[in-house]
Amino acid sequence: MANWLKNTIKNASSDCVVFGFEDFSLKILLYKRGINPCKGAWALPGGFLKKGELFEEAARRILKATTGVTDIYLEEVAVFDQLDRFPPWRVFTVGYFALVKPGKYKITATGLDSTEVRWFKFNELPELAWDHKQIVDTALHKLRSLVLHKPIGLELMPNKFTLPQLQTLYEVVLDRPLDRRNFRKKMIQMNLLKKLDERDPNNKTNAAYLYKFDKRVYNKLITKGFILE
């Protein structure tokens, strides 16, 4: 038996869809596999569970090992158990999605099985290994549902942002326009945002005020939830 299998549950794995928001685009972090199976293919950060390890613990460990990303928001997506999803033998995987501010991390290929790590625009993804495209689609569906009921979209924003920038994030994630007046009214009514005495430094004319989120209210709404529309 290979050394890596001795402390591994070879029929259980964790795969993670890492979402980022940059340049007005929703992006996904992928890594290029350096070993077989699927050597040279782009894939989601993932791997087998270790004995005595929980699925979320595995997801965080794997993310750190393949990309160097740590301390991020994780949400369970679903169990993927198709009979042929991993041809060498049957493997069940629990999918997660993570929300990352791309500029916060210096993404590097740190694992032995990864040769490159790169952000891709969601609508420009390369062909993915195994059933990872299905995992991506399922994760996006869950993300779109959750942003309407939890303020998790703020995990993708910089520390300071304008209301138009925040609305753009929601429109990109939901892939549809939102009414400007209703969006601003809802966000302000929730007391989630703190208006700063600063304006957008990147806009020289009619610069919008900057905001940041109230961590106390944010933590409350993460648990309690809200209705955006």
Which active-site residues does the annotation give?
116
> Which of 170, 215, 165, 168 has its CA nearest to residue 193?
215
E-state strands within the chain:
8-22, 25-33, 42-43, 46-50, 73-80, 92-100, 114-121, 193-199, 209-213
2: its two tokens: 């290979």
Phi/psi at 20 (5° precision): -140, 160
Distance between CA atoms of residues 45 and 32, nearest Å: 9
Whose structure tokens read 């955006």? Answer: 228
Q: Residues 146, 75: contact at Cβ < 8 Å?
A: yes
Distance between CA atoms of residues 201 and 180, nearest Å: 22
148: its two tokens: 């309407």
